[in-house]
Structure 1
Amino acid sequence: MAWIVLLIAGLLETAWAAGLKSLSESFRLSLLFATAALMIASLAALYWSMRSLPLGVAYPIWTGIGSVGSVIVGITVFRQDIGVLGIAGVAFLIIGMFLISFETH
């Protein structure tokens, strides 16, 4: 269950990062509050997952999910360009998260 909550926490991190980007393009008070709520929810889910998972596993995977998710949202929603090095970087993040996950076994 902690792994599912950690995945949700990472997806919420991606959502609030996208909210911040949207705010930087067009400030709206409602979006500010929604982004803040997503931040709080992401941290609450991370906290909950850390009750069962070690810090050295949960935190890097949370940030990794948020990082990979932010790149995907950047490309698909905000039309960000990505090159070969960017793709390689995302691949290394995914491999790193996979390897770190074995620390709990």
Structure 2
Amino acid sequence: MAWTYLLVAGVLEVLWAFAMKKSAGFTVLGPTILTFVAMIASVALLSMAMRSLPLGTAYAVWTGIGAAGAFLAGAVFMGEALTLTRVAAALLIVAGIMLMKLSGGE
């Protein structure tokens, strides 16, 4: 169950990053509220996952999902550049997440 909490926490991290961008510096109410609700839920689920997962694994996977997911959301929904270097960097993040999961350690 910890990995499920961690996956959902990572997805919520992507959501709050996207909503933060849409909030235009917290000047648009809807995205601002969504940002804070998703932040709180994301950190709460990360905390629940950390009950049984090692700190280093949980935090690295959480931030990795957030970083790679935010990159993908920016490219898909905001027209941000998909250069070879940026895609390679995102793939390296995903590879790191996979290695953390495969390393066990829980």
TM-score (norm 1): 0.93
The alignment status of 1:56 with 2:60, answered yes or no, reads no
How far apart, in 1, do the equivalents of 2:23 and 2:77 lie?
Answer: 14
- Root-mean-square deviation (CA, aligned residues, Å) is 1.5
How far apart, in 2, do the equivalents of 1:74 and 1:89 lie?
Answer: 14
Match of 2:44 in 1: 44
Cα offset for 1:25? 7.2
Point out the structure with the larger helix share: 1
The alignment status of 1:15 with 2:11, answered yes or no, reads no
Match of 2:78 in 1: 78
Match of 1:98 in 2: 98
Cα offset for 1:29? 1.8
Unaligned runs of 5+ in 1: none
SS in 2 for 1:77: helix
Match of 1:27 in 2: 27
What count of residue pairs does the alignment treat as equivalent? 105
SS in 2 for 1:16: helix
How far apart, in 1, do the equivalents of 2:34 and 2:83 lie?
Answer: 32
TM-score (norm 2): 0.92
How far apart, in 2, do the equivalents of 1:47 and 1:100 lie?
Answer: 18
How far apart, in 1, do the equivalents of 2:7 and 2:34 lie?
Answer: 20
Cα offset for 1:32? 1.1
